Structure 1
């Protein structure tokens, strides 16, 4: 069963699937890249302003939380009025947050720039909006793979921006690095126009009875499998945000250079390109719940091994590679399951709600990391909490039922 299936795009021209995917991937790359490298600004900003790590951690925790809060609303607006408007608004907020972050001299201004502006900006221009646009613009046979490519592009942004951040901070200073990041974000503005959805489905396609966003929300929260999916996605955010923000400092505490930290985060992004594309490919060929369960359990094993083994450049880079394979590879099966259950009419909003759970996890992961370090002078309690959540989510995803909800169907208007 298909909901609001978009008319088949032409094979040539700016509406071609390949063009849509390429533009969406560049948007995902630029949207995720600077945010994934913000952990490298923790040490220089904290040292300059005599802040504890909890100050920077709180700002980025707020960012994760507001990103999650804003995501369902941004998704609903994109579902109703189109992705370009949301992407443009989010880009302006994101770029402004990066620019003003360079002038943040107090915890309050850092929270406003890195937390509030970037957080709400991310809700409007991250890969989640791109995933929703892909669901509407691409035929069924393209979707799962396109979700994988869009997610992989975000990871490639992490691969590019992590060493770029280290290089710019080392050569030009951290304020100049933020200015460069803000300028690069503006590239999203023209690219977003390609993701404008057609006004109506093609004649002869099958559509469902009109559904309001309130009906969609009632249906989703009454669906047991969707609730399990949303709960399980919490772990993904907890692990990713904690690692992204605190891993560079964790490695520095153990005597490794900033370059090793940069290349480790870059390795996570590079290997996640493989992991995300593979996850998207497998999602159309095997049960998605098994893919998610395997990813979460694999993460738990990887983190436990990293904490128990000596921290050396070799073990750190291996951890980065393994973690990368399992990093954002949860997104293609998660978004695909939402589309399978409810169709694509409110895909951006419903996936946005799942992403809110993800970002609540991210908020706690970043915040607890900073608090744990200030209290214990160690990140180990949060590493082990990540292992526990990984095992729990591996179990939670197994009972998910992968089939559409039953709704009456009507022929779409010509």
Structure 2
């Protein structure tokens, strides 16, 4: 079947499943920074160790994403997503019993990183794209990203409350409870495997040819490099903002509140950019996000942090947080179609995660060596402004083969 004949109930069950899956996977992952002060205090794990585990998580997520995408394109998304949920739960359990940097890194770095490649944005956006008609695709991805943002609103207050009342291990038990909800969500989302993709969407192109076409497309390369900066900025903030607030002498609960506000405003931002992406050039919107983010980071870190400035900063950043997801995935489908979308978005996401690695590890190393985050945020601002400018100039002309397919003509040999 195609997306059009899907019954309303079936379509909503799939979209609801991917939204819940994305919500909880990202909500828990983005709340891990709240655990840093307690874990450092109670174990032999240092700030640099925590940063390394987070950095490795992002590397594993990025490196495994193209392979996971290929598995989903080849064999279906359901088993990939279900496996990811189980690995996620295993990672949380290992983190809970960790007393050394090595064990913590296996759980938080290796397991969670692999699980995210199976349950987070690339997989859920691919399933969403296959479930709705082309005219509804951008707004649907924005809506799923928006609902997916609510996980941070749930996970960060839950984590901070349990950490304060009973300790960080109990908070991780709470996260295991959230992971159990991801199982039925993955089952419902996996019903998208029954939706057939029309052959005309990519002709008879092989996966190797699709990858070669993407890597030879200047616009795809520019988008992937700019995506690196996106990962750098966001993971630097989620990993180090709670510690930065602690250094500034602000209440520990402010970090959780800031993350919750990011999640809440992300609902508005993700849906809005999904809607806008169906009406205006996506590359311009993406570049604008990177530039405005950079200006907001510079404004916040230039002046002493206060509860009020932190709340305003969180609201601004939340509005720009996952708005990139429907835009990047929309550009990939616009340029290359749906047949190998999971694989190609996985390749772009590898660049994003290289940036995440740099943001997480670099922030920790700079702080440990200089005793300040100043050089870290300044670097994030500079590269963000550069990336935004280049992103706006991205080539959005589809490859010749794709243009020929869209026109119903024989593709060039």
TM range (shorter): over 0.9
Residues 292-334 of structure 1: CA distance to partner in whole angstroms, max 9, x if unpaired? 1110110111001001122110001100001111111111111
Aligned counterparts of 1:278 and 1:209: Cα–Cα separation in 2: 33
Give distance in 2, aligned partners of 1:147 and 1:71: 19
Aligned equivalents of 1:183, 1:245: Cα separation in 2: 23
Task: Please give the TM-score of this superposition, normalised by the length of structure 1.
Answer: 0.94
Deviation at 1:180, TM superposition (A): 1.8
Aligned-partner Cα distance in 2 for 1:372–1:214: 40
Inter-partner Cα distance in structure 2 for 1:406 and 1:138: 26
The Cα shift of 1:102 comes to 0.7
* Equivalences for residues 11-410 of structure 1 within 5 A: 11-14=7-10, 16=11, 18-195=12-189, 196=191, 197-198=193-194, 200-201=196-197, 206-407=200-401, 408-409=404-405
Q: Distance in 2 between matches of 1:11 and 1:236?
A: 37
Which 5+ residue runs of structure 2 have no aligned equivalent? none
Question: 1:101-121: CA deviations, max 9, x gaps?
Answer: 011111110111111011111
C-alpha contact (below 8 Å) 2:202/2:337 kept by paired residues: no
What is the deviation of 1:178? 0.7
Q: Distance in 2 between matches of 1:257 and 1:50?
A: 24
Residue by residue over 1:93-145, the C-alpha shift from the partner in whole angstroms, topping out at 9 and shown as x without a partner, is 11100011011111110111111011111111112201011112221122101
1:8 maps onto 2:14 in alignment? no
For normalisation by structure 2, the TM-score amounts to: 0.94
Change beyond 3 A, Cα 1:9–1:134: farther
Q: Which deviates further from its counterpart, 145-154 or 356-365?
A: 145-154
Higher helix share: 2
What does the per-residue CA deviation read over 1:135-184, in whole Å, with 9 as the maximum and x for residues that have no partner? 12221122101111222233211122111110111122211111121232
Could you tell me whether the CA contact under 8 Å between 2:197 and 2:338 is conserved in 1?
no
Give the distance between the partners of 1:320 and 1:346, measured in 2 at CA: 35
| d(CA) in 1 for partners of 2:242, 2:388 | 27
> Aligned partners of 2:364, 2:202: CA distance in 1, in Å?
48
Equivalent-residue separation in structure 1 for 2:235 and 2:132 (angstroms)? 30
CA distance in 1, matches of 2:241, 2:202: 47
Listed one character per residue, the Cα deviations across residues 12-41 of structure 1 (whole Å, up to 9, x for unaligned) are 332x2x332222111111111111110011
CA RMSD of superposed structures (Å): 1.6
Tell me, in whole angstroms, the C-alpha distance in 2 between the residues paired with 1:186 and 1:353. 29
Aligned to 1:186, what secondary structure does the other structure show? helix
Q: Please report how far the alpha carbon of residue 199 of structure 1 lies from its aligned counterpart in structure 2 after TM superposition.
A: 5.5
Distance 1:142 1:78 in 2: 22
* Preserved CA contact (<8 Å) 1:287 1:402: no
Aligned residues: 403
Local SS of the residue matching 1:256: coil
Residue 405 of structure 1, CA deviation: 2.5
